[in-house]
Amino acid sequence: MFSDHIDYYYQAVKPNFEEYFELSKTINEVGGNQLPDAAMKSAGSLFHFRDHLLSLYGDSFSRKYVASLCSDFDIVGDVYNSTKHKEISRKERLIQGSTSILKGFFVSRFKDEMGIYQVHRPAVLIKPLKGKEFDFLKPVTNVYNFWTKFMYDKGLLEKVDYYTFEGDSPVSRQSVPKSLDGMKTEMPRYKKAEDLLLIIRTYDYINNKFIYE
């Protein structure tokens, strides 16, 4: 299907990631499959991109080696593989399996001179074996940027676009898309509320981080 690694990057890695990244900023439906499907599609192309480089770098270009260069490669691999296997069996697994992938949304509270406002943002959430749940977009963005820089450094790309995960940063009232502004709309549409994970957090402007409830 793909003639070489450059073809795969431009026809799978890049467009699949960009679809997930852009959708995460605009989608206003919680509980549907559109965002999780885009997330897993991106994860699959990012994880399998290593396979397309084996012909250049050989068996030494192992999963363990790539993860030593970009630690988030392992979580992306575990999450993607959990869509095919109910449980992850590898010894160094970072998640239990398919039950570790959750549909949910953040309710993020901010404050400006006009007062308090909040943003509702749907997300694909991952429950790791250690630590608290996190937005899957963050490691996916890191792995995409890793592969992009890797290809550029090897002289395989002439132009690169890097992306910044902004889910841990404050959002100004003016920059909030209307569909995501909790002050302008009702809660996002949702399906099967009992299956959703709700994360409520308030931004601490003194320490520049979110405080989770």
**Over the stretch 112-139, which tens digit does the pLDDT of each residue have?**
999 999 888 889 999 999 999 999 999 9
Distance (Å) of CA 32 to CA 104, 174, 195? 10, 28, 11
Average pLDDT of span 27-45: 86
Residue 63 has pLDDT above 80, yes or no: yes
**H-type helices in 13-127, by residue range?**
14-26, 34-48, 54-57, 63-69, 72-81
Alpha carbons 88 and 72: distance in angstroms, whole number: 16
Q: Is the pLDDT assigned to residue 194 strictly greater than 70? A: no
What integer pLDDT is reported at residue 44 of this predicted model?
97
Residue that is written with structure tokens 């209307």 in the block: 178
Place of tokens 């790309």: 157
Residue 184: pLDDT band by 50, 70, 90 thresholds?
A: very low
- What pLDDT shows up at residue 1? 43
Residue 29 banded pLDDT, cuts 50, 70, 90:
low
Comparing 11-20, 62-71, 97-106, 202-211, which segment has the lowest mean pLDDT? 97-106
Computed over every residue of the chain, the mean pLDDT equals 87
Residue 114: exposure state from Cβ atoms within 10 A (0-12, 13-18, ≥19): exposed
Whether residue 189 is predicted with pLDDT greater than 80 in this model: the reply is no
Q: Is it the case that residue 151 has pLDDT exceeding 70?
A: yes
Percentage of residues of the chain with pLDDT beyond 70: 88
Region label for 131, one of left (φ > 0), alpha (ψ between -120 and 50) or beta (otherwise) = left
Confidence of residue 173 (pLDDT cuts 50, 70, 90): confident
How far is Cα 165 from Cα 144, in angstroms, rounded to an integer? 11
